[in-house]
Structure 1
């Protein structure tokens, strides 16, 4: 019997807020499993995506952007939830925004390299660089400064160099049996997926009126006859004024958010959805 060797590893995607980590994960997986917006700290918890191609299984973890102290010179360790994830990684993908290497990037890189885990630096959003002549000197600068094992310029949004990235990541996978079935693409629960769809609509619809730290909890989910789901979700806010913002005049905003969220959930789950949104002050704070 000819049994082919299998390869499997854990790749953690890290970087500052808004460098395109979630977009990168979605493009790698080929499906939107992590919500995306221009607001800082949109990703609130780590999200796992699985990409399996024949004998190679890459298990990616999208992490929230690093949180710094008020002086922006130290990482707030208690507020960053992914240090244990990083320690157990096979490979780290450190994403930066175009040809920008800031002091924050320096602090993050110096911290993660202490784990002794190979680091690939991803220069994202190269489609936005008007003068491409500055790219090679910047890569040379980063190479000397970090001694990263690979430095790869990509555009996650435009899918430029994504196949190159996959081939490089594949080469670093150790010999391991696959952890997940071939068709498995995420560990997100149905509850989590639904809550993130609703939270994404809140962020997109309300923009700067509402912080991205707003929480959504699924209080009730029941499947009834004819392939229908009844869902009751709580939108938890910190201040009473945020509750008024979400509800809007005569409930106009919450109604629109509910309609769009219901449509998105139906499209994702392929079921008829009955959705009730309820805005409540978060008493756990």
Structure 2
């Protein structure tokens, strides 16, 4: 059983104002649970993944970045206040891993340096970013 019905058109936007007004009338005014400027650890983890992925997309072209799996493996705040962040890229094939690593580690090294600089700037603290590239294990049938 519903207390109120709203006819809304996503195509023309009709009825949206009524729905928004109803929701605003129902909202309870109270202080925020957290300060809006405070970064939670989960937000920081997401940002770290996004920054590294952005740098990968800047340096690796064609379809390669879209088949690479990217994971946060470890996140620690160290005693000195710095962060230790470990992320892995998992490529489906050895040839894709080689492209991502680059000659003598040049590609992954450049990605790591640029991402580390940006993360330091965002988090306002030292970041020890470790990136690893590996090939996905083949599943046995």
TM-score (normalised: structure 1): 0.38
Corresponding residue for residue 8 of structure 2: 118
- Aligned partners of 2:88 and 2:130: how far apart in 1? 9
Give the secondary structure class of the aligned counterpart of 1:207: coil
- Aligned partners of 2:27 and 2:70: how far apart in 1? 37
1:172 lines up with 2:62 in the alignment: no
Shift in CA distance, 241/190, structure 1 to aligned 2, threshold 3 Å: same
Higher strand fraction (1 or 2): 1
User: Quick check: 2:67–2:92 contact (8 Å CA) kept in 1?
Assistant: no
Corresponding residue for residue 49 of structure 2: 195
**Aligned match for 1:149, one of 13, 19, 24:** 13
User: Quick check: 2:73–2:86 contact (8 Å CA) kept in 1?
Assistant: yes
**Aligned match for 1:283, one of 134, 137, 140:** 137
Shift in CA distance, 195/272, structure 1 to aligned 2, threshold 3 Å: same
1:254 lines up with 2:108 in the alignment: yes
User: Quick check: 1:240–1:281 contact (8 Å CA) kept in 2?
Assistant: yes
User: Quick check: 1:201–1:261 contact (8 Å CA) kept in 2?
Assistant: yes
User: Quick check: 2:90–2:133 contact (8 Å CA) kept in 1?
Assistant: yes
Corresponding residue for residue 273 of structure 1: 127
Shift in CA distance, 284/268, structure 1 to aligned 2, threshold 3 Å: farther
Corresponding residue for residue 3 of structure 2: none
Give the secondary structure class of the aligned counterpart of 1:275: strand
- Aligned partners of 2:130 and 2:53: how far apart in 1? 14
User: Quick check: 2:72–2:88 contact (8 Å CA) kept in 1?
Assistant: yes
Question: What is the CA RMSD across the aligned residues, in angstroms?
Answer: 3.3
Shift in CA distance, 183/214, structure 1 to aligned 2, threshold 3 Å: same
Give the superposition deviation at 1:262: 0.5
Any stretches of 5+ residues in structure 1 without a counterpart? 1-115, 121-145, 151-167
Give the secondary structure class of the aligned counterpart of 1:172: helix
User: Quick check: 2:73–2:88 contact (8 Å CA) kept in 1?
Assistant: yes
Any stretches of 5+ residues in structure 2 without a counterpart? 1-5
Higher helix fraction (1 or 2): 2
Give the secondary structure class of the aligned counterpart of 2:66: coil
Give the superposition deviation at 1:232: 1.4
**Aligned match for 2:59, one of 194, 201, 205:** 205
User: Quick check: 1:198–1:216 contact (8 Å CA) kept in 2?
Assistant: no
Corresponding residue for residue 81 of structure 2: 227
Give the superposition deviation at 1:118: 3.1
TM-score (normalised: structure 2): 0.71
Corresponding residue for residue 183 of structure 1: 36
